Amino acid sequence: MKVIKVQMNEDLLRCLSREARARKLTTGALIREACQHYLEKFREDELDRQYVAGYHRHPESAAVGQTGERLAGEVWPREDW
């Protein structure tokens, strides 16, 4: 593992240290975990943006949506609510 130097304000560091103690982690471990979660969320959000952009560039025709609805109805019976 590499060691990096990061500047942060004292309030943020105090909050991170408190959370780390509550989770029985080191502050460094908590920061690594937070960075990992951030990157995973960023990747998911990027995939969502690409998915939406793809549909904007190439929208489904109404016929495709109707066919999908009909096929889904055959697999999953309609529920009366």
**Alpha carbon distance 24, 30 (integer Å):** 9
| Mean pLDDT, the chain, integer | 88
**How far apart (Å, rounded) are the C-alpha atoms in residues 17 and 23?**
10
Q: Please give the model's pTM, rounded to 2 decimal places.
A: 0.62
Spatial CA neighbour of 5 closest among 30, 31, 26: 31
Amino acid at 20: A
How large is the average pLDDT for residues 68-74?
78
Q: So what's the pLDDT on residue 77?
A: 65
**Number of Cβ within a 10 Å radius of residue 25:** 14
User: In the predicted model, what is the mean pLDDT of residues 28-35?
Assistant: 97
